[in-house]
Structure 1
């Protein structure tokens, strides 16, 4: 597990499959690193900074229904990478994200501290929102419903 390096959350080097849906186009890549707040792919996808998309992340080797489904925002982009921030997800996806990171962490206690001290997430019934961003919760909820949740 990488240190914080002035980042909000510890990043986990992980190679899981990700499908990114934007408008009528699907992009398929592999996650290079994952944290509680987002992930990075080593690809320059056809999206622009600030685009909001639907995200489905799955541990590639597993044939299971356990996936992380979220609404995401492109927050960084170069010719080599695209970084996404989670802006909303259902509670079950958030719990699966936490559990996945904890089971893969070298020092789970560091990650537990981040989870407990995190103040960027707000909870509304079965939805988890990134409260550091000012997005309409109803729009995010509709995006999440489109993911079939």
Structure 2
């Protein structure tokens, strides 16, 4: 199935380490691509589509950590695709900056569909389907 026509956010190829906590299972894997709405995580897991997790992504110990909640939307032989379902605003802003830096294009995120993002009163961010 071609997933590219369903994508609403630009993806940036990157090699970042990510920690995933599914409750009973925890993983430390590598992110191969990243967007404002989610990521593809390389590595073996026992997870299934629909499983939810907590996500921590940090480029280096001196940088801020991106904290989010996510849901598995696709499982492949070499990894899984995760969609962000919740992210604090400070993590979202750091993610925007990280993506612009990794892409080397300051205009990359300018045309992203912010109508798909809802900012809530409690300074949380929800990314809708």
TM-score (norm 1): 0.77
Q: Which residue of 1 aligns with 2:100?
A: 102
Q: Name the SS for the 1:98 alignment partner.
A: helix
Provide the C-alpha distance between the structure 2 equivalents of 1:34 and 1:88, rounded to a whole number of angstroms: 15
Query: 1:65: Cα distance to partner?
Result: 5.0
User: Which has a greater percent of helix?
Assistant: 1
Q: Which residue of 2 aligns with 1:81?
A: 79
Provide the C-alpha distance between the structure 2 equivalents of 1:78 and 1:24, rounded to a whole number of angstroms: 21
CA RMSD of aligned residues (A): 1.4
Question: Which residue among 51, 65, 68 is the counterpart of 2:66?
Answer: 68
Deviations 1:105-145 (A, max 9, x none): 2332132221xx3221100131000132xxxxxxxxxxxxx
Q: Which residue of 2 aligns with 1:147?
A: none
Q: Which residue of 2 aligns with 1:144?
A: none
Name stretches of at least 5 consecutive residues in structure 2 with no aligned partner. Answer: none
Moved over 3 A (4+): none
Query: 1:9: Cα distance to partner?
Result: 1.1
Deviations 1:72-114 (A, max 9, x none): 0000111112000000011110010011111222332132221
Q: Which residue of 2 aligns with 1:131?
A: 128
Q: Does 1:113 align with 2:111?
A: yes
Provide the C-alpha distance between the structure 2 equivalents of 1:50 and 1:93, rounded to a whole number of angstroms: 23
User: Which has a greater percent of strand?
Assistant: 2
TM-score (norm 2): 0.88
